Structure 1
Amino acid sequence: MTIPTDPETGEFHRAPNHFAARITADGRDGWPVEPGRYRLVVSRACPWASRALVVRRLLGLEHAISLAVADPIQDEKSWRFTLDPGDRDPVLGIKYLSEAYYKADPDYTGGISVPAVVDTPSGRLVTNDFPRITLDFATEWTAHHREGAPDLYPEHLRDEIDEVNRGVHTDVNAAVYEAGFATKQAAYDDAYRRLFARLDALSTRLENQRYLVGDTITEADIRLFTTLVRFDAVYHGHFKCNRNKLTEMPVLWAYARDLFQTPGFGDTVDFDHIKRHYYQVHEQINPTRIVPRGPELSLWATPHGREALGGRPFGDGTPPGPPPPTEVLPAQW
């Protein structure tokens, strides 16, 4: 895997999302909400894709949006469907996600990323705009949400959610990568400083409230969770984000366990995929490709005590039921 860093500054820069069409209830971008039409392609290793997995589960959209899971180990053509019979996605009929990208734009030369939403009749990629995908699941697909689905992006809290998300994205979600992929000390130091300053601020915010915004789970919690759940397994050591482990930050560790133990969160997390992807794909960082045995994953099941802060995880709604049989993960410990 080639890591795009600035040769002068040593800074890692993530490429912008090239495909930003939206699937909406009114179909104004040419892509109307239509159950059974679209396929969500993810890697369970990827934190950006994991957001879409959590939101899809919480809202009960499994019946409306089908799921393709890529192999956590990429090759020179990026994400591939080698977990499926014949090494092809059984719905799209393709071996590589890149085939859907090139159907959308034969001249495309950028990276191949997940999550991606593909139009199954045409085989064309619709969007890889990961921040917008989950918001549209929450706001444009409401006619197909399960009964009791939570409001993950409540209108009266959107400004606050957006503000929290901006800080979390810059200083947590992106900063771990900027630290891990930095090739010069100053670039690493800046990302490291921003990361732990933001984690300290988030810890203070969450000390006396159960969730980031309001008293229910929102999009903000989902975006922070997918980085926190990977922290000790990969970011602390592999990406040199090593001031503290998550397990050494009491408030954030309890908060992360609270979410992990909430239906729709931990049941989408595959630590095997996460660890094998980071340690075996990033050969510039880990040339031996050895996958560490730790950390001890059973700690995620220990009591967290966050119920004492009150809050209603699903607001006036209810927890999602169990995952579809084809999406049940092996035991994690």
Structure 2
Amino acid sequence: MQQSQQQQLPYRNIISDDHPIYKPEANRYHLYIVNSCPFAHRAYIALKLKGLEGIIGLSITEPVFDDELGWQFSESYPDHVNGFSSIPDLYKKSGNPEYTGRFTVPLLWDKQSSTIVNNESPDLLRILNNSFNQFVNSETSPIDLYPSDLQLEINELNGKIAEHINSGVYKVGAAKTQEIYNTNVDNLFKTFNELEERLEKSGSKYLFGDRLTETDIRLFTTLIRFDIVYYHVMKCNLKQIQQYTYLKKYLVNLYQIPTFRSTVDFNEIKTGDYKAKVFNPSGIIPIGPNIDYLLQL
């Protein structure tokens, strides 16, 4: 997307000392996510990796999307800032008359102005990576998820993963014709094969050698859902991740990182996807599959 188009979108703000409204401050901002969504999951991982849990608040919605009411809060899943009953309430309170999009998460909320700062997960990865470093200990949270010397390569690989994997599984699941389905399945597994070869050749734990980047987060949140939901619900059933040698090893290594593992709730992931009537009209949640391989290094 071109920069001029980005500026026309209502919730694509940054947090910076130079921004007229949104300045870096501790305890000013609040992150809203849902555990069942891979895009919201990205922001949750970044929040923890950067050591920002004491700087930015967090609220998590119910895992099942309500077709009429959107993402819902409840007694078990409260809105810790506004006490609202749903994510659409936040958009209404934010009061942007130009907004005609969906009421999505993740979103970053500014408690001071009662407005949404940003609701795009790629942007939030960068905001969480860059905007609050002054509030964390660089020795305990030294990671840079978007290092300057890798940015062009990261952008290129992000694009391929976003098109054919992150969005690709949903393109497969939402296909209305056999031709569209076949095309998107081919693109999905071709990209998996390319990543398998990349990891085999590099012999590295991460996509960019020994450096964990935002690209790993973007890939992880799809891979961790693949065998338990996408393989079945989205009809992406050519091959499971556990049947790949290097992608499996890559996924297991990431899952064994405590910060990553602590953000994964398999029950809510399964509940969110299997209760989505558009993909699974019965709403029945299967007991399996067995994913014990994730515990084996």
Structures share a fold, TM > 0.5?
A: yes
Match of 1:170 among 163, 167, 180: 163
CA distance in 1 between partners of 2:81 and 2:62 (Å):
16
For structure 1, which runs of at least 5 residues remain unmatched after alignment? Answer: 1-15, 304-333
Q: CA deviation at 1:173?
A: 0.5
C-alpha separation in 1, matches of 2:231 and 2:290: 14
Where do residues 160-199 of structure 1 align in structure 2 (5 Å cutoff)?
Answer: 160-199=153-192
User: Partner residue of 1:273?
Assistant: 268
In structure 2, the residue matched to 1:77 is: 69
The answer to whether structure 1 residue 120 and structure 2 residue 128 are counterparts is: no
Residue in structure 1 matched with residue 83 of structure 2 by the alignment: 93
Within a 5 Å distance, the mapping from 1:123-142 to structure 2 comes to 123-142=114-133
- 2:80 counterpart letter in structure 1: P
2:290 to 283, 287, 296: 296
Q: For the residues of structure 2 that align with 1:90 and 1:28, how far apart are their CA atoms?
A: 26
- C-alpha separation between the residues in 1 aligned to 2:140 and 2:119? 28
Contact in 2 for aligned 1:38/1:118 (Cα 8 Å): yes
Deviations 1:200-234 (CA, angstroms, capped at 9, x unpaired): 00000011222111322111111111100000011
Alignment equivalent of 1:247, drawn from 236, 242, 249: 242
1:102-143, Cα deviation, whole Å (9 max, x unpaired): 222246332111110111234322210110111121122211
Aligned letter for 1:19? Y
> Which of 23, 26, 32 is the equivalent residue of 1:41?
32
Structure-1-length-normalised TM-score:
0.81
* C-alpha distance 45-127 of structure 1, shift in aligned 2 (>3 A): same
> What TM-score, normalized by structure 2, do the two folds share?
0.91
Does the CA-based 8 Å contact 1:52-1:115 persist in structure 2? yes
- Cα distance in 2 between the residues matched to 1:17 and 1:269: 30
For residues 57-76 of structure 1, the aligned pairs below 5 Å read 57-75=48-66, 76=68
Q: What is the CA–CA distance in structure 1 between the aligned matches of 2:74 and 2:220, rounded to whole Å?
A: 28
- Segments of structure 2 that go 5 or more residues without pairing to the other structure are 1-7
Deviation at 1:187? 1.8
RMSD across aligned C-alpha pairs, in angstroms?
1.7
2:93 to 100, 103, 110: 103
What's the counterpart of residue 3 of structure 2? none
Once the two structures are superposed, what CA deviation does each residue of 1:160-219 show, in whole Å capped at 9, x if it has no partner? 111111111111111011101112222211211111000000000011222111322111
Contact 2:228 / 2:289 at 8 angstroms: preserved in 1?
yes
